[in-house]
Amino acid sequence: MRTLAETALALVDSGRGILAADESIGTMSQRLTAEGIAPTEENRRRYRELLLTPRGLSRMVSGIILCDETLRQQVATVDGNVAFPLAAKQCGILPGIKVDAGTTSLAFGHGALVTEGLDGLRDRLAEYADLGAAFAKWRAVIDVETATEHSIEVNAHALARYAALCQEQGIVPIVEPEVLCAGAHDIGRCEEVTDRTLAAVFAQLRLQKVEPEAMVLKPNLVTPGTTGPSVTPSHVADATLRVLERHVPSTVPGIAFLSGGHDNATACQYLAALNGIAVGAPWRLTYSFGRALVSDALHAWGGEDANLSDAQATLLSNCARAAAALEGAEPAPASA
């Protein structure tokens, strides 16, 4: 049986990343509806099954993050129905679970958000461990426009409490402090807020006695706002590496970057540039993408069994591009 540190290292295994398929029932239903697919429980199950079962996925994906509904559902196989966590393990992929309850307005936060879900978390984590979850994820949201010392500290404290409870219950925590890329700010402003955020997060992790070797960090890449001044991938890589070197302990085994709303090609360009200059870094630098991997597959599927092969081929292509970026080389362009 793996230790927590060994599981954390397996999640960032060289050449592989983490597939985020953990949208809530409401969000996933909205995405299905937008593609003309009835937002039923069965269609949500079929879609997550599509994402887990492509042949060869485990060569590029080490773990898959699921939501509570999916963790309790089953995958249809030729040998009968198999629970999602077991099916993932049979595919050579570690099953994970999103445990936060989403964001709400922070009291006296002047528009800032705070993530909820700590109430009852210890018992939920114990149940998820029994169901087969090897790791968990909690996302904190920091908006550049509303970021204050108060909002950053509150979110950092919640992330650290979550991470400590995960390790107590034998589950590896993915710690996700996301500085949003929405806005017109330049890359310098994103670097400043990301710097403050990671400083607060690791200070709180130390206070809560979280073992850094038994966790995975899932931060944003340091980029300008989506309507801000454009920069090259090398600028993104330089700014991101500066922040990591200032705050992330060398004992953290890996950093799995979120795509942050960037499309697959853009996120992979940034990741490739970062890996290209981070030779000798103490952590493995990989990806934990959601929409940047799966949106194209959802569109290709359209809820039709006849489109399953094409949808899975699309997913594999996006995963292959992300995995190639880990080598530090410019990824091949997305196919038309």
| Per-residue model confidence as pLDDT tens digits over 40-92 | 999 999 999 999 999 999 999 999 999 999 999 999 987 789 999 999 999 99
Tell me the average pLDDT across 154-179.
98
Q: For the chain, how long is the longest CA-to-CA vector?
A: 55
The question of whether 218 is a catalytic residue gets the answer yes
The question of whether 176 is a catalytic residue gets the answer yes
pLDDT of 329 higher than 80: no
At 147, the pLDDT band (50, 70, 90 cuts) reads very high
List of residues 6+ apart from 187 with CB closer than 8 A: 222, 223, 224, 228, 229, 231, 235, 236, 239
- What pLDDT is stored for residue 319 in this prediction? 97
Paired residues of 174 in beta bridges: 137, 216
The CA-based angle 163-165-167, given to 5 degrees, is: 70
Continuous segment of H or E residues that includes residue 95:
strand 94-98
- What pLDDT is stored for residue 301 in this prediction? 98
Looking at 23, 98, 137, 176, which residue is catalytic? Answer: 176
Q: Where are the beta strands (DSSP E) in 107-208?
A: 113-115, 135-142, 172-179
Tell me the average pLDDT across 232-236.
97
- What pLDDT is stored for residue 333 in this prediction? 55
**Contact predicate 328/281, CB 8 Å:** no
- What pLDDT is stored for residue 330 in this prediction? 64
**Contact predicate 160/201, CB 8 Å:** yes
Tell me the average pLDDT across 89-99.
97
pLDDT tens by residue, 181-231: 999 999 999 999 999 999 999 999 999 999 999 999 999 999 999 999 999
- What pLDDT is stored for residue 77 in this prediction? 84
Rounded to the nearest integer, the mean pLDDT of the chain is: 96
List of residues 6+ apart from 267 with CB closer than 8 A: 221, 257, 259, 260, 287, 289, 292, 322
pLDDT of 335 higher than 80: no
pLDDT of 261 higher than 80: yes
Please state which CATH number belongs to domain 4-325.
3.20.20.70
Choose among 112, 27, 13, 122: nearest CA to 69: 27
pTM for this prediction? 0.96
- Provide the percentage of residues in the chain whose pLDDT is more than 90: 95
Looking at 218, 245, 327, 330, which residue is catalytic? Answer: 218
Cβ atoms within 10 A of the Cβ of 235, count?
Answer: 16
CA distances from 311 to 68, 94, 158, 230, 293 (A): 24, 22, 37, 32, 11
pLDDT of 331 higher than 70: no
- What pLDDT is stored for residue 78 in this prediction? 77
- What pLDDT is stored for residue 336 in this prediction? 33
pLDDT of 2 higher than 70: yes
- What pLDDT is stored for residue 328 in this prediction? 85
Choose among 238, 298, 279: nearest CA to 21: 298
